[in-house]
Amino acid sequence: MTYLRIQWTLRRVAITVGILALATPAAAQVQQAAGSSTPIDQVLLLAQQAYDDLNYARADSVARSVLAVSIPITSRQRTQALMIIVASAFPEEVEMQKPTLARGTLRELVRNRIDLKFPSTLTWPGLDSLVEAVRRTTFGMQVSGDSIQALVGPDAHAVLRVRSTLPGRFQYSVVTGPNDSVIVFDSIAVTTNGQLRIPAMRGERPTMPAGVYTVVVSGTDSATADMVTFRYPVRVEAPQLEFIRIPASIDSSKLLPERAKRFGYKSLIPALLVGGGAYALSTMLQPQEGSIGNTISVDSKGMAVGGGMALVTIVAGLLDPGRRIPANIDANRAFGESFRVAADSARSENARRLTQYSMTMRFSLEPR
């Protein structure tokens, strides 16, 4: 359906050209000079021809027909049509001049093209003076920059230069999707000449993945708050940036035990044997004669000695750190060193990838 509509619109433009050709005696020569130009360019040539013939009303009407077509026209074609309208509204013949119309159209032109200059075929000193007067009082903005910008490294930026006729604040945003979701945003202070910088990376990651985006550039008159906004499509070519994963710490599950297992509660059996042996020995060494008191005293001392030795044995077993295993200690040391070397190597490789990362931004810097 869209294709058929475009075809129909192109035929309508061609019909318009044909009608105007019949109405203009010199149109045949104009069309022949146009060669392979588009129908829109042919209509603009007819408008120029009408202006050259001092037929300002027809020149204005034909130029406005270009602005009214439903098919897209280029920025150059739009500017040319507006200049013909201005020139037709402000010719040298004073009685034919329409200064209000000329100034209003000129403001529209200057807002988008601050370096606007009329071709010699459309201007005269009086019109040049009018253009300068409008330029001095109208806030206009112009954006320029390389259409293809290669960005290498984490600190690289794409640069768009902005200029204005009057001091203003400027900002840009990179948006995507039907709702214009903002990916990047930045602004600069009041100036008439500055740079908008779009970073390639933020936080060591590409600012935007590969795809098609829209750069919206706005300028606001610092005195009147009058705003001019342009939209530019930009295609981003950005490969994936992948880093080597570096573990936060060494994997302890791969470490070998550096000591043998503790004696621990296994010391209970030796403690019983030591304690029992000490008690038995104290019993065997008690005096042969003596009172019952002496016997009880000797038994009590034997139990105390045996219990103490048993307790010491148990405590020693529980506090035993285990025997050192030199081979495992050396193996763990080597494993730790290899981990540090691998981590340092990964960090160096990640830094290299970051430094050498390259992306390309392709701008179409024709205002939309």
Residues 157 and 285 in one domain: no
Give one DSSP letter per residue of 47-69, joined into a string.
Answer: HHHHHHTT-HHHHHHHHHHHHH-
pLDDT at 16 over 60: no
- In the listed set 138, 167, 189, which residue is the last one of a domain according to the structure? 138
Confidence tier at 306 by pLDDT (50, 70, 90): low
Cβ pair 87, 38 in contact under 8 A: no
Q: Find the mean pLDDT for residues 82-87.
A: 97
Is residue 338's pLDDT more than 50? yes
- List all residues 6 or more positions away from 250 whose beta carbon is below 8 Å from its beta carbon: 335, 336, 339
Q: Which amino acid is at 43?
A: V
Range of the domain at 82: 2-138
The answer, yes or no, to whether residue 12 has pLDDT greater than 70, is no
pLDDT at 252: 80
> Of residues 87 and 328, which shows the higher confidence score?
87
Question: Does some domain include residue 23?
Answer: yes
pLDDT of 2: 38
The DSSP bridge pattern shows strands 148-152 and 157-176 to be unpaired
Q: Which residues contact 159 (CB under 8 A, 6 or more apart)?
A: 145, 146, 149, 195, 196, 197, 198
Q: What is the pLDDT of residue 307?
A: 63
Same domain, 260 and 327: yes
- 192: domain CATH number is 2.60.40.4070
pLDDT at 160 over 90: yes
Are the beta carbons of 256 and 272 closer than 8 angstroms? no
Rounded CA Rg of the chain: 46
pLDDT at 280: 63
- Whether 337 has a pLDDT exceeding 50, the answer reads yes
Residue 259 lies inside a defined structural domain of this protein: yes
**Average pLDDT estimate for 9-25:** 46
Evaluate whether residue 28 is within a structural domain. yes
How sure is the predictor about 294, in pLDDT bands with cuts at 50, 70 and 90?
Answer: low
Q: How many domains does the chain have?
A: 3
pLDDT, position 300? 61
Looking at the fold, whether 32 and 128 belong to one and the same domain comes out as: yes
| Residues 280 and 209 reside in one and the same domain | no
Out of 46-60, 117-131, 248-262, which region has the weakest mean confidence (pLDDT)?
248-262
Q: Are residues 235 and 291 in the same domain?
A: no
Average pLDDT over residues 260-265: 57
Q: How confident is the model over 266-279, as a mean pLDDT? A: 56
Residues 20 and 41 in one domain: yes
Q: Please answer whether residues 107 and 143 qualify as being in contact, where contact means their C-beta atoms are separated by less than 8 angstroms.
A: no
Model confidence at 290: pLDDT above 50: yes
Over range 3-17, report the average pLDDT: 45
Give the pLDDT of residue 17. Answer: 47
**Could you give the CA distance from residue 140 to residue 257 in angstroms, rounded to a whole number?**
76
**Which of 114, 138, 162 is the last residue in one of the domains?**
138
**Domain co-membership, 192 together with 289:** no
Q: List the one residue out of 54, 110, 58, 46 whose CA is nearest residue 83.
A: 110
330 domain-assigned: yes
Same domain for 134 and 24:
yes
Q: Compute the residue count for the chain.
A: 368
How confident is the model over 293-318, as a mean pLDDT?
A: 58
Is there a contact between 192 and 163 (Cβ–Cβ < 8 Å)? yes
What's residue 98's pLDDT?
A: 96
Q: What percent of the chain has pLDDT over 70?
A: 72
Residue 316 lies in a domain: yes
Q: What are the strands, taking DSSP E only, across 120-180? A: 141-144, 148-152, 157-176
Q: How far apart are CA 109 and CA 80, in angstroms?
A: 10
Task: Identify whether 260 is part of a domain.
Answer: yes
Residue 242 scores a pLDDT above 60: yes
Q: Is residue 368 part of a domain?
A: no
Residues 120-140, mean pLDDT to the nearest whole number: 96
How much is the pLDDT for 322?
59
CB-neighbour burial class of residue 35 (10 A; exposed 0-12, middle 13-18, buried 19+): exposed
Q: For 272, phi and psi rounded to 5 degrees?
A: -65, -40
- Check: CB of residue 191 under 8 Å from CB of residue 167: yes
Residues 129 and 169 reside in one and the same domain: no
Name the percent of the chain lying above pLDDT 90: 55
Please tell me whether residues 133 and 146 are part of one structural domain. no
Q: Which residues contact 286 (CB under 8 A, 6 or more apart)?
A: 295, 298, 299, 302
328 compared with 144, residue with greater pLDDT:
144
pLDDT in tens, 168-210: 999 999 999 888 889 889 999 899 999 999 999 988 899 999 9
Question: What mean pLDDT do residues 325-334 have?
Answer: 83
Average confidence (pLDDT) over 149-171: 95
- Tell me: do 159 and 216 sit in the same domain: yes
Instruction: Let me know the angle formed at the C-alpha of 301 by 296 and 306, rounded to the nearest 5 degrees.
Output: 125
Alpha helices in the chain (DSSP H): 2-23, 27-34, 39-52, 56-68, 75-89, 99-112, 125-137, 268-284, 292-319, 326-356
> Average pLDDT of the chain?
81
106 and 122 both lie in a single domain: yes
Six token digits for residue 108? 């529209």
Q: Where does a domain end: 123, 138, 153? A: 138
What's the whole-number mean pLDDT along residues 298-327? 62
| Mean pLDDT on 64-72 | 91
At 122, which amino acid appears?
L
Using CA atoms, how far apart are residues 242 and 222, in angstroms rounded to an integer? 44
